[in-house]
Amino acid sequence: MEVQGGALDPPRAWAAVGAIPEPCPWRQATRVRLEEVPLAGVPPWLGIDRALAGWQAWRAVQGPVLVADAGTVLSLTLVDGRGVFQGGRLQAGLALQLRAMAGATQHLPPAGGPKQAMVAAAWPRDTLEAMAAGVQRGLAAAVAAAHREAARDYPGLRLVLTGGDGALVRELLPRQVGIEPPVEHRPDLCLEALAALRPASA
C-alpha cells in the first residue's frame, strides 16, 4: 500500500506486509514501519496493515472500535477507548474460502474469482451461488457475532469496515439477527493512516 506524493512523484509513504521485491522500487526513507504506528500495546508480530487500520479507525471514532478488514483474510482488530490494541481474530476471506472449497472437494466448481456481488437468494439452487451465499453470509455473521461479543466489554463499541469486500459485508450486516451496530465503511483506511503519518507538508 502506498500514498502518492504527486502524479509523477514516488510515494511519500508506503508499507508492506510480507516480502518486499528486490530491488525495492521505493526509497526506504519513505517506508512506514510497525514501530512508527502510534497504536499502543502492539505486539511485534502484528501485521502493519492491522496496526494502521486499528490506529486510524480509533482516531476517526475517538472511542472503542472493532475494525473488520475484509480482504484475502478477514481480520478483526479490537482497539479500546484509550487507543490500546486488545487483540483480534483471523479467518479466511471470501475468495480464499471459495478457492479452498473448490480445491478440497471433488464436486464443487471453481469460483472463477471472488464473488463480489451479493447473492440475493437466501437459499440458491445453483451450486456456485450457494457457495458464494454461504461464504458471504458467514463472513457477515462472523463480524456481527464479534461485535456483539466485544460490545459487552467495551460499551459504545463502533464497527469500522474496510478491505475489498467491506462494502459487501456492510450490505449483509442488517440481515443478521439482532445486529444494529453503528457501522462506518472506510475503504481507504490504511491509506488514510499512511497519509496521516506522512503528511504532504512534511
Judge whether 163 lies within some domain.
yes
- Residue 64: pLDDT over 60: yes
Judge whether 40 lies within some domain.
yes
Give me the pLDDT at residue 179, please: 57
Domain range holding 99?
Answer: 2-197
pLDDT category of residue 169 using cuts at 50, 70 and 90: very high
Task: Pull the grid cell for residue 12.
Answer: 511519500
Q: Mean pLDDT across the chain, nearest whole number? A: 87
Domain holding 48: CATH number?
3.30.420.40
- Residue 4: pLDDT over 80: no
Judge whether 149 lies within some domain.
yes
Decide if 49 is catalytic: yes
Judge whether 202 lies within some domain.
no
Judge whether 46 lies within some domain.
yes
Which CA distances in Å does 172 have to 114, 122, 140, 158, 161?
16, 11, 6, 17, 12
Tally of domains within the chain: 1
- The answer, as to whether pTM is greater than 0.85, is yes
- Alpha carbons 197 and 163: distance in angstroms, whole number: 20
Give me the pLDDT at residue 180, please: 58
- DSSP state, 165? T
Q: Which of 9, 49, 165, 188 is catalytic?
A: 49
- Alpha carbons 42 and 108: distance in angstroms, whole number: 40
**pLDDT digits 0-9 by tens, 116-168:** 577 888 899 988 889 899 999 999 999 999 999 999 999 999 999 999 999 99
Give me the pLDDT at residue 115, please: 52
Give me the pLDDT at residue 177, please: 45
Judge whether 22 lies within some domain.
yes
**pLDDT digits 0-9 by tens, 66-116:** 999 999 999 999 999 999 999 999 999 999 999 999 888 888 877 765 455
Judge whether 73 lies within some domain.
yes
